[in-house]
């Protein structure tokens, strides 16, 4: 530990640990302009909703590591399950070999999900889970001899990942991927059917391109990483109806919304919609290890059953169904079964509504909105490095993006810590707008 000084992020801290200073010239950070990116904070431990920093400070985590840490950091039940699995078998390939954790997890996910979403294809990241869903949808039609259906219809304001196929179905103008416009395959990215005119437009597009479009994909109820925008259950039902009417495969991307984040186990439950394919990731392992899943209905799965070897789904991530990750996911599902996570989400929703309301009407505030354990203050504009620094000074980890200040805390966060998050959000917005 060196002597106290102002750290690059503005907090009063000791010198950064040697590994951080030595590794800094070699690391490339996500979504960061490396010329101006503030030096990151060294985290040496984490417990429930608190991050322990290398200099001894603690931050209350309002982000839950991109909303993955559902049960808080270092939950003993998940830690013990992963440690036990490490003794038995950390990994074995899923091609031709089987292990208990993946098979048990597949069976349990099928039971957690509604309808006949019964066939689980594992991968390691959400983007790949979406890629697999797109591939399933396109090949479903190819296997039936419908060769032209290679397009996807998605919605403005959406986010489905950072790989090339998923970038092509994200909001085309959100800034994150706009640069690649010419390099991406052209898809149909349309308005959400929030009113009658937009519903008509959606139906017209689907009718006109019924031979071109393989699938419709949407993040149900909350479009997350492209702007934390909410839409109603009615809007989701309109999308499902339109997809059905025009014979499309409906893909729900529940990578953000799944596992109680919007107040029910899955967002689709609030609309009574059951898709043909659902994508899961993020909180699947409770924020412990990377794992994602693409879960298909019997109808989609049966579209691949054939005497023709070429009809098989040709996909297989090397680490798919990793045993440690599946053990973590099984332990996380245990906690969703036996801990009051839905009630936790409702408690957080109430606290966020009350705590963020004072931001409404402040200068520069465009909207304040809450759904489940998601709280959002939308501003006219913001300087995210300045805001992040101010939050750190208040002992809170909040990571604004675009014009959004949001929180997605762990479900296990205490009321006092939650109050500190909402107070900090309102205060920082008041100080800076
Ligand atoms: C995060 C996210 C993805 C991408 O997941 P990665 O694991 O980052 O590849 C896709 N869709 C949604 C809705 C997400 O929130």
Q: Any idea what the Cα angle at residue 304 is, between residues 299 and 308, rounded to 5°?
A: 150
Residue 172 has pLDDT above 90, yes or no: no
Q: What pLDDT shows up at residue 14? A: 62
Spelled out in words, what is the top-level CATH class assigned to the domain 76-338? alpha beta
Ligand 1 centre from 127 Cα, in Å?
5
Distinct helix (H) and strand (E) counts, the chain: 13, 18
Ligand 1 centre from 357 Cα, in Å?
29
Q: What's the rounded Cα separation, in Å, for the pair 400 and 417?
A: 19
Q: What pLDDT shows up at residue 112? A: 97
Q: What pLDDT shows up at residue 175? A: 65
Q: What pLDDT shows up at residue 176? A: 72
Q: Is 281 in the pocket of ligand 1 (CB under 6 A)?
A: yes
Return the exposure string of 279-300: e unless at least 16 CB atoms fall within 10 Å of the residue's CB, then b.
bbbbbbbbbbbbbbbbbbbeeb
Q: Which of 159, 225, 281 to mutate to test the pocket of ligand 1 (most atoms within 8 A of CB)?
A: 281
Q: What pLDDT shows up at residue 90? A: 98
Residue 159 annotated as catalytic: yes
Residue 253 annotated as catalytic: yes
End-to-end CA distance of the chain, in Å?
Answer: 36
Q: What's the rounded Cα separation, in Å, for the pair 160 and 253?
A: 7
Q: Catalytic: which of 61, 73, 159, 371?
A: 159
Query: For the chain, what percentages of helix, strand and coil (3-state, to nearest 5) are there?
Result: 40, 20, 40
pLDDT interval class at 138 (50, 70, 90): very high
Distances in Å between the Cα of 342 and the Cα atoms of 259, 262, 331, 349 are: 9, 9, 17, 11
Q: pLDDT tens digit string along 251-294? A: 999 999 999 999 999 999 999 999 999 999 999 999 999 999 99
Q: What string of DSSP letters covers 296-334?
A: EEHHHHHTT--S-GGGS-----TTTT-HHHHHHHHHHHH
Q: What pLDDT shows up at residue 180? A: 86
Which of these ranges, 30-39, 138-147, 156-165, has the smallest mean pLDDT?
A: 30-39
Structure-model confidence comparison of residues 11 and 387, the more confident one: 387
Q: Which atom of ligand 1 is nearest to the CA of 224?
A: 15
Query: What would you report as the CA-atom Rg of the chain, rounded to the nearest whole angstrom?
Result: 22
Q: What string of DSSP letters covers 68-115?
A: T-TT-BT-HHHHHHHHHHHHH-S---SSS---HHHHHHHHHHHHHSST
pLDDT interval class at 2 (50, 70, 90): very low
Are 51 and 97 within 8 A, CB to CB?
A: no
Report the mean per-residue pLDDT for the chain. 95
The pairing of beta strand 229-230 with beta strand 365-371: unpaired
- Per-residue pLDDT averaged across 229-241, rounded? 98
Q: Which of 70, 159, 163, 289 to mutate to test the pocket of ligand 1 (most atoms within 8 A of CB)?
A: 159
Residue 162 annotated as catalytic: no
| φ and ψ of 294, to 5 deg | -115, 120
Q: Which of 133, 160, 406 to mutate to test the pocket of ligand 1 (most atoms within 8 A of CB)?
A: 160
Q: What pLDDT shows up at residue 345? A: 98
Q: Catalytic: which of 55, 61, 253, 344?
A: 253
- Per-residue pLDDT averaged across 392-398, rounded? 98
Residue 11 has pLDDT above 80, yes or no: no
Query: What's the CA dihedral at 418, 423, 424, 429 to 10 degrees?
Result: 130
| CATH number for the domain formed by residue range(s) 41-71+340-432 | 3.90.1150.10
Q: What pLDDT shows up at residue 229? A: 98
pLDDT interval class at 120 (50, 70, 90): very high
Q: What pLDDT shows up at residue 93? A: 98
Ligand 1 centre from 309 Cα, in Å?
31
Residue 348: CA count within 13 A, CB half-sphere: 31
Q: What pLDDT shows up at residue 206? A: 98
Residue 103 annotated as catalytic: no
Residue 12 has pLDDT above 70, yes or no: no
Ligand 1 centre from 290 Cα, in Å?
11
Q: What pLDDT shows up at residue 73? A: 98
Q: pLDDT tens digit string along 323-365? A: 999 999 999 999 999 999 999 999 999 999 999 999 999 999 9
pLDDT interval class at 7 (50, 70, 90): very low
Are 247 and 210 within 8 A, CB to CB?
A: yes
Q: Is 388 in the pocket of ligand 1 (CB under 6 A)?
A: no
| φ and ψ of 246, to 5 deg | -100, 15
Q: What pLDDT shows up at residue 3? A: 38
Q: Catalytic: which of 61, 73, 151, 282?
A: 282
Q: Is 397 in the pocket of ligand 1 (CB under 6 A)?
A: no
Domains of the chain by residue range:
41-71+340-432, 76-338
Residue 16 has pLDDT above 90, yes or no: no
Q: Is 224 in the pocket of ligand 1 (CB under 6 A)?
A: yes
pLDDT interval class at 38 (50, 70, 90): confident
DSSP symbol at 124:
S
Neighbours of 125 (CB within 10 A): 18
Which of these ranges, 67-76, 164-173, 278-287, has the smallest mean pLDDT?
A: 164-173
- Per-residue pLDDT averaged across 229-248, rounded? 98
Q: Is 255 in the pocket of ligand 1 (CB under 6 A)?
A: yes
Q: What pLDDT shows up at residue 1? A: 34
Q: Is 422 exposed, middle or buried (0-12, 13-18, 19+ CB in 10 A)?
A: buried
Q: Which atom of ligand 1 is nearest to the CA of 223?
A: 13
Are 58 and 50 within 8 A, CB to CB?
A: yes
Are 89 and 79 within 8 A, CB to CB?
A: no
Residue 35 has pLDDT above 70, yes or no: yes
Ligand 1 centre from 362 Cα, in Å?
32
- Per-residue pLDDT averaged across 177-185, rounded? 84
Distances in Å between the Cα of 349 and the Cα atoms of 230, 267, 340, 409, 412 are: 14, 15, 14, 11, 13
């Amino acid at each position: 530990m060196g002597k106290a000084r102002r750290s690059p992020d503005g907090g009063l801290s000791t010198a950064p640990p040697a590994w951080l200073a030595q590794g800094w010239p070699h690391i490339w950070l996500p979504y960061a302009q490396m010329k101006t990116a503030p030096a990151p904070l060294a985290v040496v431990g984490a417990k429930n909703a608190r991050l322990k920093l290398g200099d001894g400070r603690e931050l209350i985590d309002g982000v839950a590591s991109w909303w993955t840490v559902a049960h808080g950091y270092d939950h003993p039940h998940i830690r013990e399950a992963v440690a036990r699995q490490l003794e038995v078998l950390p990994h074995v390939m899923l091609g031709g070999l089987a292990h208990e954790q993946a098979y048990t997890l597949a069976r349990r996910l099928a039971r957690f999900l509604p309808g006949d979403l019964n066939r689980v294809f594992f991968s390691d990241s959400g983007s790949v889970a979406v890629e697999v869903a797109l591939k399933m949808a396109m090949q479903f039609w190819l296997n039936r001899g419908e060769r032209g259906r290679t397009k996807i219809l998605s919605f403005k304001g959406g986010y489905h990942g950072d790989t090339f196929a998923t970038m092509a179905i994200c909001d085309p103008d959100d800034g994150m991927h706009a640069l690649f416009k010419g390099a991406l395959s052209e898809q149909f990215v349309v308005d959400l059917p929030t009113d009658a005119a937009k519903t008509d437009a959606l139906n017209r597009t689907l009718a006109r391109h019924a031979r071109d479009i393989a699938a419709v994909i949407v993040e149900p109820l909350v479009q997350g990483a492209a702007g934390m925008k909410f839409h109603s259950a009615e809007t989701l039902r309109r999308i499902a109806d339109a997809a059905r009417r025009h014979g499309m495969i409906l893909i729900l991307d529940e990578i953000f919304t799944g596992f109680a984040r919007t107040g029910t186990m899955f967002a689709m439950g609030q609309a009574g919609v059951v898709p043909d394919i659902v994508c899961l990731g993020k909180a699947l392992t409770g924020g412990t290890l990377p794992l994602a899943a693409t879960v298909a209905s019997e109808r989609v799965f049966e579209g691949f059953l054939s005497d023709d070897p070429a009809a098989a789904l040709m996909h297989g991530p090397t680490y798919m169904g990793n045993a440690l990750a599946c053990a973590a996911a099984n332990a996380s599902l245990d906690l969703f079964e036996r801990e009051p996570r839905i009630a936790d989400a409702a408690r957080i929703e109430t606290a966020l509504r009350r705590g963020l309301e004072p931001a409404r009407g402040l200068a520069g505030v465009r909207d304040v909105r809450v759904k489940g354990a998601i709280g959002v203050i939308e501003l006219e504009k913001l300087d995210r490095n300045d805001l992040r620094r101010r939050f750190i000074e208040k002992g809170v980890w909040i990571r604004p993006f675009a014009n959004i200040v949001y929180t997605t805390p762990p479900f296990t966060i205490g009321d006092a810590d939650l109050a500190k998050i909402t107070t900090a959000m309102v205060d920082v917005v008041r100080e800076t707008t």
